[in-house]
Structure 1
Amino acid sequence: MFDLGWTELLLIGIVALIVVGPKELPVLFRKAGQFVGKIRGMAREFSRAMNSAADDAGVGDISSTIRSAANPLKSSVDAVKSAATDYASYDPDTETGRLAGERAEQAKKIREHAEKKAKEKLDKRSDEKTGKKELKKNNSTTVKKDARSRDLKDN
């Protein structure tokens, strides 16, 4: 509370022993202990009164919101836990279950369609690349043939 270390307490004890004397020292320490106990009790009572006033004012709701905003990882873990609990109590025969099934089927169709389009796009690109390579090969052989024919004509 007062942030005193052992060396400070020892120094205070030695000074008190010298000033008060050995006969009155236990009485002094007892009264000091009672005083500190009363102070702690009053501080505890004050804390309780402030906490109850804050709860009555609704500060608890606001503080939980602030805590979740300050620690998004914990709030996201809590959300995952609640989702897992909701999933555990999932009933496919209800309206929600039927809609969830329909959405899952639609998502599967969309995924398959997207995969098909991506594969077509990749195939098209690879065909274009191989076509360009063949075109380059044909052009280079044509250039070589033209150069040879010119060389033959010159000779």
Structure 2
Amino acid sequence: MFDLGWSELLVIGVVALIVVGPKDLPVLFRNVGRFVGKAKGMAREFSRAMNDAADEAGVKDVTKTLKTATNPLGSALDGVRDAARDVTKSFDITSDKPKPKIDPDSETGKLAAERAESAKKIQAATARAAAERKAREAAEALKQAEEMEADLNKTPEAKS
């Protein structure tokens, strides 16, 4: 806002220390902080009031209409994004059950439950295949280590 650097703040602090004195300096800073907080609050309230007035006047609708007119592809993608966001909000990501917004007895609810069950089966099969692969790799590594140990025992140094 005022574009003050550390050196300017240091000069202001030293001048304040000399003028006000060390005893009253914390009180001064506290009062300045309260004043700045009140000023920021008033500015925030003014900004909120202006945004509310603009919303009532329909400025957002005009802006959206102009955006659609100037960039139809972007506005179409925005519509797709909004639809995808609405769909993802209707499902609870932490569980496989649909949220209460979707009736479990409806076709959508049945499909969602079926897809969740299929996803669980796929995850289980993938985990099982990964475990089998790791076990097979461990067995191969053990076999290779035993072969290397046997080769080391066959060397001429080991015989003497």
**TM bucket, shorter chain:** 0.3 to 0.5
More helix by share: 1
Larger radius of gyration: 1
TM-score (norm 2): 0.44
**Length-normalised TM-score, structure 1:** 0.45
